[in-house]
Amino acid sequence: MHIAVVCLPATGHVNPTLPVVAELVRRGHRVTYATSEKYADAVRATGAAFFASGTDFTAQLPRHSLQPPAGGSPGAMMNPLMSGLMQRLLLGAREEFPVLLARLAADPPDALCYDAMTLAGKMAAAKLNVPDIALLPTYASNEHFSMRELMPERLPAAALRAWKEAREQVSGFAAEQGLENIGFMDGVPASLNISFIPRAFQPAGDTFDGRFHFVGPCLGKRVSTGSWQAPAAGPLLFISLGTTPLNDRPDFFRMCLQAFGNSRWQVAIATGEQIQAAELGAIPANVDVRPFFPQLEVLRHASVFLSHTGMNSTMESLYFGVPLVAVPQQPEQAANARRVEELGLGRRLDPATLSAALLRSTVEEVDADQRIRGNVHAMSASVRAAGGPEAAADAIEGFLRAQGPPPGA
């Protein structure tokens, strides 16, 4: 079959899908993958045909543009994030949708898989009237649970207004294209929904029916970020706030150097490409600072992960049985951090009240907590048993078989 995939051009959204695409190609399906040029090589490496659509989602974000104010918390970012995110998704869809639709109409797919945050993909599936498959890099929503339940209980009035206005604009754009009740990021789920988390991590997981398949993280070959060798002695602490400019916090990394420099820990700190080494000052001998590490390989050896708890990082940490100390930088990450603590998989810290002493004591406590380690071990088993790329491909094939043969077959 010919399967089209439309993905938000962001690393945390593209990475989970590529192993699934590679598995579909291995099974003999033809895949067309639409995302930004930044990911062209990674897409082609799966055997899929690449189609340039959109620009890298984080490339245009100015440094520190959406960080909370000094002394603030991820909740303080809710208004600019909600309004800015929806506006960018809408602007992208206006530019991408006509070109994407023309490409897919010229080479019709038998099904369209779209990232749940990709408006152009959802609209294209509806416009072409092909089986729709949502790819969910984070929590699923149904009639019993909504991602909004994990957000702050009282959203600022300005945030609610911004969200409502943006949703009205999205609905208006869809109506211009002859599509009513598009239900973007809300409303009725897709016909098939592939979630890259295990059911055990999904709130209200037992309420999700056969439309949802929780396949867990899909770990595959990544673009090389250089070689790395595990330290010969001492426990390993991995520290990262993710890859986007939104998590660019040199002050945090300087605090980590103060907390863990010249300690019993061997420390790997991934700063991202925005931060220059000179901003951090002297680097202690027990600390390795780089823009990026081969994260999967580091987690394979880590004792604790001091993380922003983006969903990909959270799932990868749990896959390798590594407890988390969460320092979330954005509202969704704060929701993940609360879920980690609720399930006893680690501890969360308020970014507004951090100190070197608090970081050090929390990491030491989590490292020594056998209850947390037991919970992480059990969750790691659930993550690995979820099935990954093979389970996702099975779900897609089973869904398409149930639809009957494609036209002209």
**pLDDT tens track for 15-56:** 999 999 999 999 999 999 999 999 999 999 999 999 998 777
**In a shared domain, residues 167 and 292:** no
The mean pLDDT value for 269-273 works out to: 89
Q: What is the pLDDT of residue 257?
A: 97
If one counts the domains in the chain, the total is: 2
| CA dihedral of residues 345, 351, 354, 356 (deg, nearest 10) | 70
Share of the chain above pLDDT 90, in %: 62
**In a shared domain, residues 138 and 261:** no
Closest CA to 251 of 57, 58, 72, 75: 72
- Over the stretch 332-351, which tens digit does the pLDDT of each residue have? 899 999 999 999 999 999 99
**In a shared domain, residues 391 and 378:** no
In a domain, 186, yes or no: yes
For residue 161, the one-letter residue type is: R
Coil/strand/helix, residue 51? strand
From CA 389, how far away is CA 26, in angstroms rounded?
Answer: 11
In a domain, 363, yes or no: yes
In a domain, 409, yes or no: no
**In a shared domain, residues 244 and 175:** no
DSSP calls for 205-244: GGG--TTEEE-----------------SSS-EEEEE--SS
The mean pLDDT value for 175-195 works out to: 82
The mean pLDDT value for 174-183 works out to: 81
Distances from the Cα of 336 to the Cαs of 80, 297, 341, in angstroms? Answer: 20, 23, 9
Look up the pTM and report it: 0.87
Q: What is the pLDDT of residue 246?
A: 61
In a domain, 227, yes or no: no
For residue 31, the one-letter residue type is: V
Show the domain range for 320.
236-385
214 against 94, higher pLDDT: 214
Q: What's the pLDDT band for 278 if we cut at 50, 70, 90?
A: confident
In a domain, 33, yes or no: yes
From CA 362, how far away is CA 216, in angstroms rounded?
Answer: 28
Q: What is the pLDDT of residue 12?
A: 87
- Over the stretch 139-168, which tens digit does the pLDDT of each residue have? 999 888 887 777 655 566 776 777 777 778
**In a shared domain, residues 60 and 195:** yes
**In a shared domain, residues 151 and 263:** no
Range in 4-13, 125-134, 161-170 with the lowest mean pLDDT = 161-170
The mean pLDDT value for 82-110 works out to: 82
Closest CA to 308 of 321, 317, 298, 300: 317
CATH code, 317: 3.40.50.2000
Q: What is the pLDDT of residue 234?
A: 84
Structure tokens at 187: 């409303």
Q: What's the pLDDT band for 67 if we cut at 50, 70, 90?
A: very low
Closest CA to 44 of 21, 71, 61: 21
**In a shared domain, residues 108 and 159:** yes
Q: What is the pLDDT of residue 272?
A: 85
From CA 34, how far away is CA 244, in angstroms rounded?
Answer: 21
Coil/strand/helix, residue 190? coil
Structure tokens at 352: 């507004």
**In a shared domain, residues 200 and 262:** no
**In a shared domain, residues 190 and 74:** yes
**In a shared domain, residues 392 and 375:** no
In a domain, 250, yes or no: yes
**In a shared domain, residues 6 and 136:** yes
In a domain, 24, yes or no: yes
Share of the chain above pLDDT 70, in %: 86
In a domain, 230, yes or no: no
- Rounded to the nearest integer, the mean pLDDT of the chain is 87
**In a shared domain, residues 399 and 312:** no
Q: What's the pLDDT band for 409 if we cut at 50, 70, 90?
A: low
